[in-house]
Amino acid sequence: MGLPTFNNWLYTDAQLLGLLRFAFHDVIGLDQEPCFLSSGILNAWICVVYRRYNDVPFHNFKHAFTVAQMMYSIIKLADLAACFNQLDLFVMLFSAVCHDLDHPGFNNNYQVNILTFLACLLFQLVSFAFNQQMNARTTLGLRYNDISVLENHHCAVAFDLLHSPLTNLLARMPTESQRWVRQAAVRWVSK
């Protein structure tokens, strides 16, 4: 698991979920005190994240696992634990896991320029009523003002999952640390 040559295709999704738990345990040191992360909450969060990845050809759970596994490999091989604190390492793994959450399978350009059938009807009505031309875009494009649409969406979904006490990985952190994690994760996912 700690090598870049790891082949995730040899494992079932259930096994990959277990390996993801292992990566967090290993990197964050969940068995060490004090630890800001609860093992039970981590397990619940991983299961919810798994369900929030769509069954699309590329940006699916296997892809997210591959990115997280590569991040884990880099952390281990470069001994980043000697250079970064527990919170930094957490953000690296968290961002890798969440970087494509709820990906619809279409790119940013599609989100900005293409309409669904119902949205098209609505825009035609509005355009006709106000006698003006409107750009075609999806609801995600509208929600994020056509700016890094998918990246903003992945971050929004990731932090929305933390609203439940059952999956709030940040619950034991001081408020300032929670704020820092959010800012850092948004930067990581947006790059």
Annotated binding-site residues for Zn(2+) read: 63, 99-100
Return binding residues.
Answer: 63, 99-100
Among residues 25, 59, 103, 163, the one annotated as catalytic is 59
Secondary structure element (H or E) that encloses residue 6, with its range: none
Sign of the C-alpha dihedral, residues 145, 146, 148, 149? Answer: positive
Distance (Å, whole) CA 94 – CA 87 = 10
The torsion defined by the Cα of 156, 47, 11 and 70, in degrees rounded to 10, comes to 40
Burial class (CB in 10 A: 0-12, 13-18, 19+), 54: middle
Active site residue 25: no
Distance (Å, whole) CA 180 – CA 150 = 22
Hey, which residues are catalytic here?
Answer: 59
